[in-house]
Amino acid sequence: MREATAIAHPNVALIKYWGKRDSAANLPAVGSLSIGLGALSTRTTVRFEPGAAADTVVLNGNELPAENSKVTLCLDMLRQIAGVDAGAVVTSANDFPTGAGLASSASGYAALVTAGAAALDLDLSSQQLSAIARTGSGSASRSLFGGFVLLRNDGDDTTCAPVLAPEEWPLAVVVAVTSDEPKAVSSRYGMEQSRLTSPYYRQWVDGHDADLEAGLRCVMERDFAGLAAVAEHSCLKMHAVMMATRPPLLYWSAATMACLDAVRALRGEGEEVFFTVDAGPQVKAVCTAAAIDRVAGTLQSVPGVLRVIVSHLGDGARLTDDHD
């Protein structure tokens, strides 16, 4: 046994995932379509220690409480395949805010399973790693792959696969960071509350396949205007489900709303840009290369925006020899 280090990028869903059909297995109620954020990274080293009874997880320099069981759940699946029972030391760092609606769990679990499998000398496919990462975080299964990624429910199966490489449609994402604070309500808890209490949850699930297919068609045809329309619709519909949850899940701040107005105004002036917002107050503006400078400059000047991050589309999770 040895140690291995992996890098993974967070992703942002254009057609959103919210809700589970099986909480225990962490199976999503709906599919999703995402793009990877190449400018943001998680770097994770996994070292299995013969004789160690438990896993130790250090995230951004702080040791996590031992009951952080989702990491152990993923590692247990790898240990079972490898036939070993050694505990692991996991050291992970993000170069962006953690737990603040920037999908740190997606890149985190994708890097974890990639490094963990390599440390155990397992030769698993990206699909197998994606399914293991999904037990840690549903969105993590998408970060195993680069570019545009489709997660789809297919009968009882959930499958995840790349649909376009980054260079096949090199869009960009301008992230307007409006807060560095961790979110108050986790996605996992929030989704379950939405399933149990939101009057719009059933309509969300029932109408979702049509949005997913429309989004996929727009990606395959490089139809920016069509993708903008269905992606903003999916985002706003998900937030309607969240807002109608009891107690309400209101992830937006005044700065979030101001950014949405700014993106819509830019599009009204002919720029190819649309917004999406996840379980946090940050706004991600997806745009063509030609629009990057204007989108970034405009969002930077919106009151309440702390900074903007410009990202190209990211590659999938991968091993690295660089241990810095």
Task: Provide the binding-site residues for ligand 2P0, judged by CB under 6 A.
Answer: 13, 16-18, 26, 32, 105, 137-139, 187-188, 191, 278-279
Q: Residue 63 has which token pair?
A: 């040791």
If you write DSSP's letter for every residue of 45-79 in order, what string do you get? EEEEETT--S-EEEETTEEPPTT-HHHHHHHHHHH
Q: Toward ligand 2P0, which CB reaches closer, 5 or 26? A: 26
Name 246's Cβ contacts closer than 8 Å, sequence gap at least 6: 193, 197, 198
**Cα distances (angstroms) measured from residue 135 to each of 49, 51, 258, 272:** 23, 26, 35, 36
Neighbours of 38 (CB within 10 A): 18
If you write DSSP's letter for every residue of 251-308 in order, what string do you get? ---HHHHHHHHHHHHHHHTT--EEEE--SSS-EEEEE-GGGHHHHHHHHHTSTT--EE
> 149: part of which helix (H) or strand (E)?
strand 148-154
- Describe the chain by its helix, strand, coil percentages, rounded to 5: 40, 25, 35
Task: Give me the least distance between CB of 27 and ligand 2P0, in Å please.
Answer: 9
Q: Toward ligand 2P0, which CB reaches closer, 140 or 266? A: 140
Task: Give me the least distance between CB of 105 and ligand 2P0, in Å please.
Answer: 4
Question: Nearest CA to 236 among 268, 271, 266, 278?
Answer: 278
Task: Give me the least distance between CB of 289 and ligand 2P0, in Å please.
Answer: 24
> What is the rounded radius of gyration, in angstroms, for the C-alpha atoms of the chain?
19
65 and 32 Cβ atoms separated by less than 8 Å:
no
Task: Give me the least distance between CB of 91 and ligand 2P0, in Å please.
Answer: 21
Task: Give me the least distance between CB of 83 and ligand 2P0, in Å please.
Answer: 27
Task: Give me the least distance between CB of 142 and ligand 2P0, in Å please.
Answer: 8
Q: Toward ligand 2P0, which CB reaches closer, 30 or 120? A: 30
Question: Nearest CA to 191 among 205, 176, 181?
Answer: 205
Task: Give me the least distance between CB of 242 and ligand 2P0, in Å please.
Answer: 8
Q: Toward ligand 2P0, which CB reaches closer, 120 or 129? A: 129
Q: Toward ligand 2P0, which CB reaches closer, 126 or 234? A: 234
Task: Give me the least distance between CB of 86 and ligand 2P0, in Å please.
Answer: 26
Q: Toward ligand 2P0, which CB reaches closer, 188 or 318? A: 188
Q: Toward ligand 2P0, which CB reaches closer, 187 or 311? A: 187
CA distance 238 to 258: 19
Q: Toward ligand 2P0, which CB reaches closer, 120 or 317? A: 317
CA distance 154 to 256: 35
In the complex, residue closest to ligand 2P0 by CB:
138
